[in-house]
Structure 1
Amino acid sequence: MKKKIMHIVESAGGVEVYIKMLLKYMDSNKYEHILVCSNDYCKNDFDSSVKAFEQIDMIREINFKKDYMSIKKVRRLIKHYNPDIVYSHSSKGGAIGRIANLGIGKKQLYNPHGWAFNMDCSNIKKKVYTMIEKFLSKFTSKIVAISEAEKDSALQNKICNSEKIEVIFNGIDIDKYNEDKKNYIINRNNLNIPKDAFVVGMVGRISRQKSPDIFVKAARKIKDNIPNAFFIIVGDGDEREEILQLITKLNLEESFLITGWVDNPMEYIQIFDLAMLISRWEGFGLAIAEYMVSKKPIVATDIDAIPNLIKHDESGYLARVDNVDSIVKGVLKIYEDSVYKEKLVNNAFKRVNEKFDIKRVAKEHEKLIDDLSRR
């Protein structure tokens, strides 16, 4: 009989991509999946990988009335579908799923996809998030950390003991990338980017976490040193208008493109000459693995899980958080030194194929679920 796994998730974006890939590569002869998700998800994207798809109202912000209603609905769904394992994803999905499972007693997996208490927020919020995670960890069979840094952070904040945490590094669908790139149609010409431009790009939500403001400020200094530089942000978010205003203020309108949300960011990454992920905090940084497999040199920030992926001066350049000059220094070093650039690209490409393939992620999940089921 197949093991039945109920996934509960509020957050879209990178978490959604992760779940799509995970469900695709887990053995469909051994496991069936029920997806309980927010209204940000599209049923058609999961038709071939889930037994059941249930959308409920879930929001990122804490709202006691709405959260209570979400918990009631999830609790009913757990009782209705009777899964072997409840797998809750992200901080909000993790809280709702684990509270809903109280008293029902299904085996409980939780993947925070980046701890909420590591976000750039007030000390009061950090303390509240830490208290919630500590309390709910008591009702969690296993916590899946997507990096060693995420595990270390949990232990430093005394969320749980080491035995409760399983590190399963994140990954990307390398096979799909190799197949899809044969059919890419996006190019510099149809994006109105000059053929001789040095394109610096980043993929991610336009939100404080991803430091789009620092990206634009760095762009100004890069442009002063590399006159043919052009800049792309692949993504969208709640800070878009502020970033557009900053682009205008720094006279970068003719050298900047914000794509909005796109179906396949990898198609845009192949246009980049250099890729950035300069986050203020980061649970894993899936975009980095995408940059690696696309053979793009990387400038990223030395924060949280990113050094688990990139070794400074070996597979990428690590800059200091919120430090424009440090970021620009990395860009110029890569631009001016082709031998250095090739070393970074080759080492990163080797590393992503060895460490960050989603097939490995799926296999490690299967082992974890099988072990948990035997307890």
Structure 2
Amino acid sequence: MKKIKIAHVLHSVGGVDVSLRLILENSNPSQFENIVIHGIVDTTESFYDKNKVIIKEFKLPISREITFLNDLISIIKTYQILKNEKPDVIHCHSAKGGVIGRIVAILTGTPVLYTPQAFSYLSTDDTFKRSVFLFIEKLLSKGNVTLLACSKSEMKRAIEEVGFKEENVLLFNNAIRPIDKIDSLSIKKTWPDNYICTVGRPSYQKNIEFMIRVLYEIKKTTNIHLVIMGVGPVSDNLDSVKNLIIELDMSTDITLLNWTKRTDVFNIINDAKFYISTARYEGLPYSIIESMTLGTPCIVSDCDGNRDLITNNFNGYLVKENDIADFSAKCIKLLNEEELHATFSKNAKNSFEQDYNILKKIVDLETIYLKQSNLKYKKSHK
């Protein structure tokens, strides 16, 4: 039986990179052949299939920022690659992958799936930039494209704001493998045992400044430390975060960790009192899914992605965005009530097993790939 070839196009960083690797490492290699087209400097790690075989990759000048020349070069080279590779389906991930992949799909007539992992227009509060990004999304929502949302919130925005037809929107929740083993830290532990944690680069999206102000309120009555993971090179608000820490005299209360191994992230989440997110928006955050399988309760802002994972007062707390008083009160309550913590932990594990275990859910994505490849077959035999 001929394998179905999937071409993945993306800027492979953060959760987008994690998402792709989980798909590649869990889909059936006897049924699907994958190739990856990504940025020159986004990742240095090879991609592997389920059998630990290295997957063919092509590196192009794909970056997060809009750079006309590099974007044009990436579109032309992606077109050349796909004309030669002849994939059955293009799956583009992230905003930049979505632009490049969808333009090439129009040129080649190949069925295309687009997974934004949070739409680009949500990434700024600048009205002009937001309208430009939304216009691009609307323009490229037409034609031979299916929106493959990573959450129900993303589905809703695709239909109500971007303008996708409901019949052209599908859902495949981000999902991970159960974390059955916690490895020792590969880095030196420099923070106290009594801590909470988060994963996310200091940026407009993650709203870390608000998180620090929440911690400042908590510290008035309760002793707790905050570990912030993922402070990498694409941290637009890092100076703002550092300045606020100094302003509030909280240098000994917060640890900023650069990007580290996922196994270290698991270790830190597992030992934390709870996981906290103050994000303005998400796709479907892997760090919260990881917390759920580890049984670490979450206190999170009520935004896209977060509200898809956390049910208020069941497996964690959902808190209205920018409500410092409620956020800090919920944190103090969870820190002080062991029975509540145990209940949230148990429910979080059950929620993961039901909806976000990729060992159970990968068949849903494989079915979608099969249906999309049939669209190409039907078109070529008209």
Q: Which residue pairs with 1:61 in the alignment? A: 65
Q: Which residue pairs with 1:206 in the alignment? A: 202
- Which residue among 83, 90, 93 is the counterpart of 1:89? 93
Q: Which residue pairs with 2:46 in the alignment? A: 44
Compute the displacement of 1:345 (Å).
1.2
Compute the displacement of 1:119 (Å).
2.9
Distance 1:13 1:105 in 2: 30
Question: Can you list the C-alpha shifts for 1:179-228, whole angstroms capped at 9, x where unaligned?
Answer: 3x1x32369xx413334x2x11111122121111111111111111113x
Question: Can you list the C-alpha shifts for 1:147-174, whole angstroms capped at 9, x where unaligned?
Answer: 1111111111152111101011111121
Compute the displacement of 1:258 (Å).
0.9
Is 1:23–1:33's contact at 8 Å kept on the other side of the alignment?
Answer: yes
Q: Which residue pairs with 2:31 in the alignment? A: 30
For 2:152, the aligned partner's letter is E
Distance 1:51 1:186 in 2: 27
Is 2:46–2:54's contact at 8 Å kept on the other side of the alignment?
Answer: no
In the alignment, is residue 107 of structure 1 matched against residue 111 of structure 2?
yes
Compute the displacement of 1:49 (Å).
5.0
Q: Where does the alignment leave 5 or more consecutive residues of structure 1 unmatched?
A: none
Matches within 5 A, 1:217-366: 217-227=213-223, 229-236=224-231, 237-264=235-262, 265-366=265-366
Compute the displacement of 1:105 (Å).
0.8
For 1:302, the aligned partner's letter is D
Compute the displacement of 1:235 (Å).
0.9
Compute the displacement of 1:129 (Å).
2.1
Is 1:186–1:267's contact at 8 Å kept on the other side of the alignment?
Answer: no
For 2:111, the aligned partner's letter is K
For 2:42, the aligned partner's letter is D
- Which 4+ runs in 1 deviate beyond 4 A? none
- Which residue among 194, 206, 219 is the counterpart of 2:192? 194
RMSD: 1.7
Q: Which residue pairs with 1:163 in the alignment? A: 167
Residue aligned with 1:253, SS: coil
Matches within 5 A, 1:96-135: 96-135=100-139
Distance 1:194 1:134 in 2: 48
**Across the two proteins, how many residue pairs are aligned to each other?**
366
Distance 1:67 1:131 in 2: 17
Q: Which residue pairs with 1:6 in the alignment? A: 7
Distance 1:373 1:51 in 2: 20
For 2:198, the aligned partner's letter is M
Q: Which residue pairs with 2:211 in the alignment? A: 215
Distance 1:147 1:135 in 2: 22
Q: TM-score, normalised by structure 1?
A: 0.93
Q: Where does the alignment leave 5 or more consecutive residues of structure 2 unmatched?
A: 376-382
Q: Percent of counterpart pairs with the same letter? A: 25
Residue aligned with 2:106, SS: coil
In the alignment, is residue 15 of structure 1 matched against residue 16 of structure 2?
yes
Distance 1:200 1:26 in 2: 34
